[in-house]
Amino acid sequence: MRGRTSRGHTSAKQQSHGRQTIKERSETSEEALIGAMDSRNRKRKSRVPTTQPEKRPKIPMQSQNAAARTNNEVAHLVPPLPESRILNDPKNLYTPETTFNTLQLYIDYLDETLRDQRLALPRERMAGWADQINDLRRKCVPSTVIAVLGATGVGKSSLLNALLDQAELLPANCMRACTAAVVELAYHEKDTFEADVMFLSAEEWKQEAEYLQSDLSDEEGNMGDDDDDQVAIAKAKFGAVYPDVPLETLRHQPIEELLQRSAVQEVLGSIRHISCQTAKEFALELAAFIESKEDFTGVSATADITFQLWPLVKCIQCHVKADALATGAKLVDLPGTQDINIARAAIAKQYIKVADAFWIVAPINRAVSDKTAQDLLGDAFRRQLFMDGCYSDRTVTLVCSKTDQISGEEALRSLPHLKQNPDIRVILQKLKDLETNTSQYELALLAAEGKRAAKEEIQTLQSKISETRNEAKTYIQKRDTICALERNRYSKECSKKHFRVGLKQLDDAKREDTEDFQPAQSQNNFSQIDLPVFCASAQDYSKGKGLHGRNVQPSVFTSELDTEIPQLREHIKEITWDGRNMAVKKSIEVLEGFARSIDIYLGAEGQTRSAAGELFHTIFEQEMKTLSKAWEGVISGKCSRLKQKLRAAIGPVITQGAAAAQEGAVATVGQFGAESAWNTYKATMVREGIFKKNLNELLIEPIMKEVTRAWGTVFAKGVKALFLDLPELLMEKTNQTFKNIENKIDADLKDRFQIIAMQQRKQLMTGFKHIVETATQKLRHIQRDVSRQISPDIQDQLSAAYLEAGMQHGDGCFVDMKKVMRTHVLIHAILMFKHVATQTILHLDSLGDKVYNTMMADLVPLERAMRLNYSGIWEKMTATPDQILVRRAVRLRAQQLGRIAAQLLSIAKQADQDMRVQQQNTRAVLTHH
């Protein structure tokens, strides 16, 4: 055995002598086994009995000589592999995108090569390979959704424009009513600026119109006052969509009649595509879907008011060729709270649920005093992100906007230590001297004008005054720049501290109710948390880049780096890196395994169908049935354990939280009524508890407080640990199957079986790991659905009360609405919250079922690939001499592709390490800057 293996190994080396690299020589164990098998097959096939039903055809001497040709002599029979420049210069050329494009070239090559009719392969084999190629094609570099959060007017649109290197791609007008539509920005390769504008469906606009009709009326049923924001917004929307219909008519007209208007009918449920050659044209077209022609007071911005589209817009998806988006980032501008619309709110919630990262944008003058990273989000939203596993310094970024808006004098009062800065001291002294000189020149000018001095003398004094004032402006800008940079530094320091405090509060929220609670003994090291904070000036960046014209100069920051827009772009690349590179590595691993399986299969050239092969087929199918059941047992056990773990971790706390919510429900409803104006309360009832505040979330707050930490911990740590050993457990069952098969099959087939098994183990372990990663990711997304279902569940329990309260009108209707809600909660609170707790546990149980279904579905292609790889043992591989030569050539390309894939995988792993080092270095440089 050892001697034959050695000879096979030597033969394989001789065939590739002079071309084998160090990397190739490191993979000779598998080649040695293949060589040994080829040697044995030649000897055994020479002893095939004459009574065998299907004989290997006798190949003429000239064909035998042809079959012995070296790889170089058959290589010309199929085209060479596409060249990969990445292999020549990985340091400079490797990116996930360029590598993925290279992989697509290889996939296209395999698709075309394996369709070659000269291979004369079985139809089932061709179909199986086609399926695997299609699976490879479907793999792509994932996009990374970055949700941009912030109230209206904080500078989100200006920030996004600057990141895209555009002056006004997105309208940034907060003076008039706006759609508050979700705006998504994504990359495309075209030079055009394009967008798809999605409108509300007929049902969605019907619901919105009903809400608006309710908002137009006051407590007594008359037209509401224009000073009321809700009334103003309702008038603006109705006036935009139905400009020729009096508002009084709109207030009472049946909704069905409003929907029948042709202009509205044509738009509802449709998607309108925009494509422009320039950013300016694009911005003008986009403005029609985002901006109103009148402000909230109803004052027209233009003389002619016609049918407007902005109230009917639900979502806008823009595609731009911009470097900031080139790495797969999708920047999603989510609306503030100025415009309340159920359909748009649902879109925004969906984006938040699937978002990979969150940017919180707020003016820098609020960032410190208001603890923006905590307060802007609100307690309920922070808890939701914490439960999602997204409230951390890896997913949340604070962007302090409008940093160019600064008064140096005010900053010096707020940050008194700045006066000790040597540069500031020099500047202040210089400004003092310039002020003195200016005063002297002004006095001299007055005197010269009084005595009617010569024109030249007066002009000289005027020139000196102008020069000193201009010089003073230069020093004021220098002072303001230093002050702004120091304010940036101080704001970052405070924001990071506030964020750490907020995280610790969430961590302590559950533990503080226990008897042994000690704040200092948290298991988490919060001092290591480093919230990314950027202090950005979109205006000064745009001015410095000349986006507003050459004559418009920055007001404070003359350096691009000081605006921190370039740093934000780099931050986007950091955010997107992990997902992109991981996806590419997975694709490389699958491609490498596919290439190896092609190599092994085509190694059985000229093989006939034998009795031993048929017996192997029978044994294989029997053992595969057993293996499928074994795999199912492992996965079923894990998913059952998942259900138990979730019930144990979350069941008790949600029951406890439901009891607390039930106990405080009447008080919560009462407090909400006491703090709300009648029109706000009415709008909340009509919208089933969701308006400026969400009454449903207020009612379940005790539940969310109880479950937040347990939920976040079990999904972040417990569930992940549960599936860590799953690949090994599945492989253990697989190895047992391999052993059973090997013990039962004919001795002549064992070498070939071992070669395929060796390759199969590697492919299967990779596949098992991918299954766990996919299931864990799916679990993460499904649990977000479950945690968000608690509020809708309580909303359903209150639907009858909301309906009855919303129908109250006339004198005393405010009191009646509150009475309806209080009575309903008083009677039904126990059953309501018990139902919510029970439903949540059932939803958690369904997680295990969904994960089970996902894993079992992902095992199907692995089983299919196993069957395809081993079918070469029982398939009839007879071929003509020319077909054998073509198969050798394709096998040669498969071997080359396997080695290339291994090199690319190594490069991708090294790139991960390099990226970590680069990120650390970049942070160090920027911190120093």
What pLDDT score does 374 carry? Answer: 54
What pLDDT score does 509 carry? Answer: 58
What pLDDT score does 174 carry? Answer: 47
- Rama region for 549: left / alpha / beta (φ>0; ψ in -120 to 50; rest): left
Say yes or no to pLDDT of 31 above 50: no
As a whole number of angstroms, the distance between CA 6 and CA 917 comes to 44
Confidence of residue 516 (pLDDT cuts 50, 70, 90): very low
As a whole number of angstroms, the distance between CA 790 and CA 700 comes to 8
Say yes or no to pLDDT of 507 above 80: no
Higher-pLDDT residue of 652 and 179 is 652
What pLDDT score does 30 carry? Answer: 46
Q: What percent of the chain has pLDDT over 90?
A: 50
Task: Please measure the distance between the N-terminal and C-terminal CA atoms of the chain and give it in whole angstroms.
Answer: 67
As a whole number of angstroms, the distance between CA 720 and CA 709 comes to 16
Q: For tokens 């098969």, name the residue.
A: 741
As a whole number of angstroms, the distance between CA 77 and CA 40 comes to 27
- pLDDT tens digit sequence for 728-737: 999 999 999 9
Classify residue 178 by its DSSP letter.
B
What pLDDT score does 928 carry? Answer: 58
What 3-state DSSP class applies to 453?
A: coil
As a whole number of angstroms, the distance between CA 685 and CA 360 comes to 30
Mean pLDDT: which of 52-61, 77-86, 292-301 is highest? 77-86
Say yes or no to pLDDT of 854 above 50: yes
What is the mean pLDDT of the segment spanning 301-317?
78
> What mean pLDDT is reported for the chain?
84
Is the pTM higher than 0.85? The answer reads: no
Higher-pLDDT residue of 618 and 381 is 618
Classify residue 311 by its DSSP letter.
G
What is the mean pLDDT of the segment spanning 307-320?
92
Contact in structure between 162 and 538 (CB atoms under 8 Å):
yes
Amino acid, single-letter form, for residue 148 = V
Higher-pLDDT residue of 336 and 653 is 653
What pLDDT score does 27 carry? Answer: 41
What is the mean pLDDT of the segment spanning 820-837?
96
What pLDDT score does 71 carry? Answer: 64
What is the mean pLDDT of the segment spanning 611-625?
91
As a whole number of angstroms, the distance between CA 414 and CA 265 comes to 57
Confidence of residue 22 (pLDDT cuts 50, 70, 90): very low
For the CA atoms of 86, 92, 94, 97, the dihedral, rounded to the nearest 10 degrees, stands at -110
- 303: exposed, middle or buried (Cβ count in 10 Å: 0-12, 13-18, 19+): exposed
In sequence order, which ranges of 46-174 are alpha helices (DSSP H)? Answer: 61-67, 71-74, 90-93, 96-114, 123-138, 156-163
What pLDDT score does 718 carry? Answer: 78
What pLDDT score does 8 carry? Answer: 36
What pLDDT score does 794 carry? Answer: 96
Mean pLDDT: which of 119-123, 195-199, 218-222, 878-882 is highest? 195-199
Confidence of residue 517 (pLDDT cuts 50, 70, 90): very low
What is the mean pLDDT of the segment spanning 20-25?
36
90-94, 202-206, 873-877 — which is least confidently predicted? Answer: 873-877
Say yes or no to pLDDT of 520 above 60: no
Name the residue among 275, 271, 278 with its Cα closest to residue 169.
Answer: 278
As a whole number of angstroms, the distance between CA 389 and CA 396 comes to 11
Say yes or no to pLDDT of 295 above 60: no
Say yes or no to pLDDT of 829 above 60: yes
What is the mean pLDDT of the segment spanning 688-712?
91
As a whole number of angstroms, the distance between CA 468 and CA 435 comes to 8
Say yes or no to pLDDT of 2 above 70: no
Confidence of residue 720 (pLDDT cuts 50, 70, 90): confident
Confidence of residue 903 (pLDDT cuts 50, 70, 90): very high
The 10 Å Cβ neighbour count of residue 502 is: 22
What is the mean pLDDT of the segment spanning 888-894?
93
What is the mean pLDDT of the segment spanning 162-182?
74
Contact in structure between 688 and 799 (CB atoms under 8 Å):
yes
- pLDDT tens digit sequence for 227-276: 788 888 889 899 889 998 898 888 888 988 888 887 899 999 999 999 99
Contact in structure between 536 and 403 (CB atoms under 8 Å):
yes
Say yes or no to pLDDT of 759 above 90: no
What pLDDT score does 59 carry? Answer: 37
Amino acid, single-letter form, for residue 12 = A
What pLDDT score does 846 carry? Answer: 92
What is the mean pLDDT of the segment spanning 7-21?
37
User: The tokens of 503 are what?
Assistant: 């995280």
Tell me the domain boundaries of the chain.
196-296+304-320, 619-876
22-26, 428-432, 617-621, 734-738 — which is least confidently predicted? Answer: 22-26
As a whole number of angstroms, the distance between CA 354 and CA 289 comes to 25
What pLDDT score does 501 carry? Answer: 82
Confidence of residue 790 (pLDDT cuts 50, 70, 90): very high
What is the mean pLDDT of the segment spanning 847-860?
94
- pLDDT tens digit sequence for 572-602: 999 999 889 999 999 999 999 999 989 988 8
- 753: exposed, middle or buried (Cβ count in 10 Å: 0-12, 13-18, 19+): buried
Say yes or no to pLDDT of 907 above 70: yes
Pairing of strands 144-149, 357-363: parallel
What pLDDT score does 294 carry? Answer: 59
